[in-house]
Amino acid sequence: MNWKRVFKSTEFYVAVVLLLLCMAVQIKSGQFFTGNNLVDITRAFSIPAMFCIGEMFVIITGGVDVSFPAIASMSMFIVCSEMESVTSNPLAFFVVAMLIGLAIGLINGFIIAKFRFPALIVTLGTSSICFGIMQGVFKSREYPLCAPLYELGQTKLFSVTNSVSGLTSDMPMGVILMVLLIFAGWFILNRTMLGRGIYAIGGDVKAAQRAGFNVFGILMFIYAFSGCMAGLIGVLRSTMLLAVHPNNLEGLEMTVIAACVLGGVRMAGGKGTVFGALLGMALLTIVDNSLILLDISTTWQKVFTGAIIIIGTAASALQAKRDERKLTVKLNDHGYIEEYD
């Protein structure tokens, strides 16, 4: 292992900040490392962490997807409101939601890959359409979860009770799905040619094409994957809440993007790791949890999230320029290039 590279990585510094924050909150509140608080953090972390995987794929290719909360919300509301009278099999709800998300993701991918439209603009439009359909066509509203999913939501891995406060927290079964999705994301990026293609597109689209990567197919895959997972996560979210909340995920895209950037996923594309994105999401989740433990208004989290996006984007741009300069200087030293800009 190259320890010098580890100590210089973004992930290392985020991990250090995360550890120091945990220790500071524990010293101040005395409640951070209690069993039920750790379960609460894991519950709060699980849904955004799963979204991070799909969003990270998109950002590494140089795009930004802001449509996944709308896709998740619409898929969740449609299956929960329309399928209760059709089937009592919980698996069917997830499958249909994934197919809805897949269809929307394919539309995103086709428009972006075929016509080279900016991903941010395309997915912003898709997001607006999804929320519009959900509210205008299906008359979205909050209501109790249908029986098959409610029964599934009541199952749990284990429960933990705080001996001081008496509060009990349940670890949801969805955590298993989170672990599987994280592993799938890591495997795709680090052990497949598809992962190499994702990084290559983020580095230079034309160079990726010359190297033989199917740019159109890869872009179609990542947006289809993001949409499909959004549908799945939307239904999973409803089982964790034990209710249908159509607007519960609205605005989550900013938190997920901030987490990815904070964890070292470069907004310009070509760089990022699953571990880094998850560290960024863990830091944002723990900041939110810490504000509650310290009795500070959680509205300050929005200030922190916005600042992270600005600072992270600026840092990514500076790092990209620094890497380009280092590469050019190295080539000069070997006599390959006589001048550089």
Specify the pLDDT at position 293: 86
Question: Rounded to an integer, what distance in angstroms lies between the CA atom of residue 298 and that of residue 305?
Answer: 11
Residue segments in the chain with a per-residue pLDDT below the cut of 50: 331, 336-341
Specify the pLDDT at position 102: 97
Question: Rounded to an integer, what distance in angstroms lies between the CA atom of residue 92 and that of residue 105?
Answer: 20
Task: Count how many Cα atoms sit within 13 Å of the Cα of residue 323 in the half-sphere of its side chain.
Answer: 12
Specify the pLDDT at position 337: 46
| Stated pTM of the model | 0.89
Question: Rounded to an integer, what distance in angstroms lies between the CA atom of residue 108 and that of residue 122?
Answer: 7
b/e per residue 60-84 (b: at least 16 CB within 10 A): bbbbbbbbbbbbbbbbbbbbbbebe
Specify the pLDDT at position 306: 73
> Tokens 């999973």 sit at which residue?
236
> Tokens 């597109």 sit at which residue?
201
Name the fold adopted by 7-308.
ABC transporter involved in vitamin B12 uptake, BtuC (1.10.3470)
Structure tokens at 222: 């990542």
Specify the pLDDT at position 333: 52
Q: Is 123 in contact with 64 (CB distance < 8 Å)?
A: yes
Given CA atoms 229, 275, 263, 31 in this order, what sign does their dihedral have?
positive
Domain ranges of the chain: 7-308
Specify the pLDDT at position 341: 44
Structure tokens at 200: 């290559």
